[in-house]
Amino acid sequence: MKERIINACYDILENVYRANVAQDINYKREALVQIRMLNFYLKQALDKELITKKKFLSHGKHLLDIHNMICSWCDYEKIE
């Protein structure tokens, strides 16, 4: 579980970098999917009592912020 969470974080970071360089919406979409997967992994960790509810809520808030930033980025590029 821990390795999946770490790998998902790196995958999100990689896709955001790729989206920035290539200006390709597919990388942004992939990052959004990976954010959802990371949230799923964190929920599983919470259910198995591997993390506390406080940590889950904190990480969830950060993931929501990142998700909203990527969605805003997509919307901004559609306007241009």
Q: Which of the four pLDDT bands, split at 50, 70 and 90, describes residue 24?
A: confident
Residue 80 above 60 pLDDT? no
What pLDDT is stored for residue 29 in this prediction?
92
Output the CA torsion sign for 60, 52, 13, 32.
negative
Residue 79 above 80 pLDDT? no
CATH number at residue 46: 1.20.1440.60
For residues 15 and 31, the answer to whether their CB atoms sit within 8 Å is: yes
Q: What is the pTM of this model?
A: 0.85
Q: What is the mean pLDDT of residues 53-64?
A: 95
Residue 61: give the domain boundaries.
2-79
Total structural domains within the chain: 1
